Amino acid sequence: DIPIESETRRRKAVVVGGGPVGCLAALSLAKQGWDVHLYDGRPDANSPKLKEGLRSVNLAISARGFAAVRAVDPAMADVFLQDTIPMKGRMIHSRAGVQQPQAYDILGQSINAVDRGLINKTFQAALRKSDRIQVFYEHKLTQAEFDERVLTFVDAFGKEVLVGFDFCVGADGSYSNVRRQLMRVVRMDYSQFYIPHEYMEFKIPAGLDTEGNVAFKLDPNYLHIWPRKSFMFIALANKDKSFTCSLFATGQELQELKDRPSTGLDWVKAHFPDVVPLIGESAILDSFRNNPKSPLIAIKANPYHYKDRVVILGDAAHSMVPFFGQGLNCGLEDVRVLDIILREEGVEAVRPSSSSSDSYPGDTKRNSVVVDSKLASALRRYTETRHDDLLAISDLSLANLVEMQHSVATPTYLVHRALDNVLAYLTWGWQGAPAAAIQQLSEVPFPSASPTGWLPLYTMVTFRPDISYSTLKRKAERQDRILQWGMSTAAILGLIGYAGLKWTAKR
Ligand code: FAD
C-alpha cells in the first residue's frame, strides 16, 4: 500500500469497459496505487434494466484466467472457483447417441464452467469494496482526445461528460470505441473478419432423479460436444443443474432454420436425436423462433498503445473465435502481463503534488506533448511482447473449430492424441507435470517459460500460464512434425514389412 501524504497525489487511470477484463484491470491498477475511474455504457449487473437484453452464455475459465485473477486478489479467485463446475474432458456424442469421454489432460486437470453473469457480479462486488475505484455505469464513450487527455462520455440522460485522465485503459470489447479513437493517432495495423459460422443458444433444463430431486440430465463434469463435420452442438453445465447449449453452424444455415422452426426441429431430430428429449420439442421450436443468432468475429491489431496515454486490452485488442475457450482467459492474462510490466518498469501511480497535472520530473516533452517516459516504455514493451502471443492464440482458436466439429470423432485424431499422451506421460508421468504446482503459485511467472519434454498442445494452452501462447504454438508445431514423421515412417516400415512377408510367402 502506498500512503497518501499531503505532498503526493494519486494519478488517475480511466478504464473504459466494465466487462471482466476492464474490472480486473481496474482492480489491478488500484492495487498499484492508481486512483481508478471505470466507465461502462451498460447499467450495472444487478440493475433490472440489464436483464432484458442479457443472454446467459456460460463459458470456461482455465488456469490462465485464474492465474490472472489470483495475481490481483487470491480470495476472489477462490470465490470464482466455488461458483464453477469442473469439466475434466469432452464428452463426444455420436449420431447413434453413444457417449465417448476424452480427458483434457493425463493428470486429470479440469477447465471450469462458469456463468457469465456471475463473473460480472463477482467482479462488480470487488470494485465496490475498493475505496480507490469509482464506477460510472450508463456512460458511453463517444470520443477521446488522447493528447489533451480528455475523454467524452454520454450518460443515461444524453448529457455529455468530459473526463480527464493520466492513463486510459480501453477494455470496451470487440466493437471498441477506444480502439477506433486510438486509430486516429497511431498507425495501427488492423484487420477483422467474420467466420461463416454463427451461434444460437438453447437450454437443457434441470431434470429429476429417481428420488424426485432436481438433477443434471447429462454428466456436468464434461463439455458435451455433438460434432457433425461442418456444424456442432455443445453444452456446458450451470449451477442450477441446467445446461446452456450453443449450436454453431453457418449463418445462412441457422437463418434458414430460424425462418422455418418446424424444419429446424426436424433438422435437430436428424442430426442430434438424443438432444430432442433433453430440451423438449416445444422448447426447441421456441428457441428457433425467439433466440437470436450471433456472429463470430476475429480481430487483430498492432500496436495496442499510444505513448503513455492509452492501451487496449481484452476483446478490444484481440477478439477471437471461441473454439479454444481462451478469449476471456487471454484477456485476463493481458491484465496480468501489463501489471508485471508496469511494476518492472517502475511506473509511478503516485506523483509529487507539486508537479503540474501533466508534467513530472523525468518526463520528456515531444511535439509539445508531455510524456511519462516510464509509462511510455512500459506500454511499448507491452505491445512488443504481447503481439506474437495474441496472433498465436487467435490462429490456434480458429484451427480448433475443425478439431471440435470434426476431428475429435476421427480415428487419426484419436491415434494422434493417444501418442501425444503417451509421450507426455513418458516425459512427465513419474515426476508429475509442473502444471498443478504452477497454478497454485500466488504469483505465476511472466509467461515466457520454454519447457523441455513433451507437452500436448491443449495442456500447454489451458494448464500452463507460465508458457506464452507463441512459444507453445511453436513447440506444438515441432511436436506435430515429429509425430507426423513418426507415424509416416511407421506406416512405410509396415508396408515394407507386409510386402516382404508376401514376397517370402510366394517363394
Ligand atoms: P466484454 O465482455 O465485451 O466487455 C466490454 C464492456 O465494454 C461491456 O461491459 C460494454 O458494455 C462496455 N462498452 C462497450 N463499448 C463501450 C463504450 N463506448 N463506452 C463504455 N463502455 C463500453 N472465453 C473464454 O475464455 N472461455 C470460453 O469458454 C469462452 N466462450 C465463449 C463463447 C462464445 C459464444 C463467445 C462469443 C465468446 C466466448 N469467450 C470465451 C470469449 C469471451 O466471452 C470474451 O473474450 C470476453 O467476454 C471479453 O471480455 P472483455 O471484458 O474484453 O469484453
Q: What DSSP string runs through 373-414?
A: HHHHHHHHHHHHHHHHHHHHHHHHHHHHHHHHHTGGGSHHHH
In the predicted structure, residue 247 carries a pLDDT above the cut 70: yes
DSSP code, position 314? T
Rg of the chain on CA atoms, in Å: 25
Does the N-terminal peptide bond of residue 101 adopt cis geometry, omega within 30 degrees of 0?
A: no
Convert the pLDDT of each residue in 105-143 to its tens digit.
887 889 999 999 889 999 999 999 999 999 999 999 999
The reply to whether 368 and 323 lie within a common domain is yes
Closest C-alpha to ligand 1, atom 41:
327
- By the 10 Å C-beta count (0-12 exposed, 13-18 middle, 19+ buried), 65 is classed as buried
The reply to whether 317 and 180 lie within a common domain is yes
In the predicted structure, residue 433 carries a pLDDT above the cut 90: no
Return the minimum-mean-pLDDT range out of 4-13, 123-132, 232-241.
4-13
The reply to whether 164 and 61 lie within a common domain is yes
Is residue 1 very low, low, confident or very high in pLDDT (cuts 50, 70, 90)? very low
Closest C-alpha to ligand 1, atom 37:
322
ipTM of the complex: 0.99
- SS in 3 state form for 205-226? CCEECCCCCEECCCCCCEEEEE
How far, in Å, is the centroid of ligand 1 from the Cα of 499? 58
pLDDT at 178: 98
Give the domain extent around 384: 9-85+114-190+298-399
| 210 falls within a domain | no
- By the 10 Å C-beta count (0-12 exposed, 13-18 middle, 19+ buried), 8 is classed as middle
The reply to whether 393 and 431 lie within a common domain is no
Average pLDDT over residues 376-389: 97
336: cell is: 496480468
pLDDT at 364: 55
- When the pLDDT of each residue in the chain is averaged and rounded to a whole number, the result is 90
In terms of Cα–Cα distance, which of 385, 425, 344, 325 is closest to 116? 325
In the predicted structure, residue 244 carries a pLDDT above the cut 90: yes
In the predicted structure, residue 426 carries a pLDDT above the cut 80: yes
The reply to whether 428 and 378 lie within a common domain is no
How far, in Å, is the centroid of ligand 1 from the Cα of 287? 23
Average pLDDT over residues 239-254: 96
From 59, 165, 397, give the residue whose CB has the most ligand 1 atoms within 8 Å, as the site to mutate. Answer: 59
In the predicted structure, residue 368 carries a pLDDT above the cut 60: no
Query: Is the Cβ atom of 459 under 6 angstroms away from ligand 1?
Result: no
In terms of Cα–Cα distance, which of 7, 13, 5, 11 is closest to 350? 11
Atom of ligand 1 nearest to the CA of 172: 7
The reply to whether 387 and 432 lie within a common domain is no
The reply to whether 427 and 392 lie within a common domain is no
How far, in Å, is the centroid of ligand 1 from the Cα of 361? 38
In the predicted structure, residue 193 carries a pLDDT above the cut 70: yes
Query: Is the Cβ atom of 324 under 6 angstroms away from ligand 1?
Result: no
At position 418, the amino acid (one-letter code) is A
In terms of Cα–Cα distance, which of 296, 278, 325, 335 is closest to 113? 325
Average pLDDT over residues 225-251: 96
DSSP code, position 324? G
Is residue 438 very low, low, confident or very high in pLDDT (cuts 50, 70, 90)? low
Helix (H, G, I), strand (E, B) or coil at 481: helix
pLDDT over 70 for what percent of the chain? Answer: 91
| 171 falls within a domain | yes
> What CATH number should be reported for the domain holding residue 388?
3.50.50.60
- Cβ–Cβ contacts within 10 Å for residue 245, how many? 22
How far, in Å, is the centroid of ligand 1 from the Cα of 173? 5
d(CA 318, CA 393): 9
| 234 falls within a domain | no
pLDDT at 199: 96
pLDDT at 331: 98
| 109 falls within a domain | no
pLDDT at 379: 98
How far, in Å, is the centroid of ligand 1 from the Cα of 136? 18
More confident residue, 54 or 345: 345
pLDDT at 7: 65
In the predicted structure, residue 431 carries a pLDDT above the cut 70: no
Closest C-alpha to ligand 1, atom 46:
328
Return the minimum-mean-pLDDT range out of 81-95, 395-409, 470-484.
395-409
| 147 falls within a domain | yes
| 208 falls within a domain | no
In terms of Cα–Cα distance, which of 399, 462, 486 is closest to 407? 399
Convert the pLDDT of each residue in 50-86 to its tens digit.
654 445 578 999 999 999 999 999 999 888 888 899 9
Element at 20 (helix H, strand E): helix 20-32
How far, in Å, is the centroid of ligand 1 from the Cα of 315? 6
pLDDT at 432: 52
The reply to whether 56 and 162 lie within a common domain is yes
How far, in Å, is the centroid of ligand 1 from the Cα of 453? 35
Residues 19-51: b if buried by 16+ CB within 10 A, e if exposed: bbbbbbbbbbbbbbbbbbbbbbbbebbeeeeee
The reply to whether 66 and 186 lie within a common domain is yes
More confident residue, 484 or 206: 206
The reply to whether 314 and 385 lie within a common domain is yes
Query: Is the Cβ atom of 314 under 6 angstroms away from ligand 1?
Result: yes
Going across the sheet that includes 140-145, the strands are 140-145, 150-154, 160-164
pLDDT at 490: 86
What torsion, rounded to 10 degrees, do the Cα atoms 456, 460, 462, 465 define? 170
Question: Which of 369, 399, 429 delimits the end of a domain?
Answer: 399
More confident residue, 180 or 412: 180
The reply to whether 350 and 482 lie within a common domain is no
Q: Where are the beta strands (DSSP E) in 228-376?
A: 232-237, 243-250, 293-302, 305-306, 310-312, 350-352, 364-366, 369-371
Helix (H, G, I), strand (E, B) or coil at 469: helix
Atom of ligand 1 nearest to the CA of 20: 51
How many folded domains does the chain comprise? 2
The reply to whether 384 and 425 lie within a common domain is no
At position 247, the amino acid (one-letter code) is L
Is residue 245 very low, low, confident or very high in pLDDT (cuts 50, 70, 90)? very high
Query: Is the Cβ atom of 315 under 6 angstroms away from ligand 1?
Result: yes
In the predicted structure, residue 229 carries a pLDDT above the cut 50: yes
| 345 falls within a domain | yes
Question: Which of 342, 366, 399 delimits the end of a domain?
Answer: 399
| 316 falls within a domain | yes
How far, in Å, is the centroid of ligand 1 from the Cα of 25? 14
Return the minimum-mean-pLDDT range out of 324-328, 398-402, 438-442.
438-442
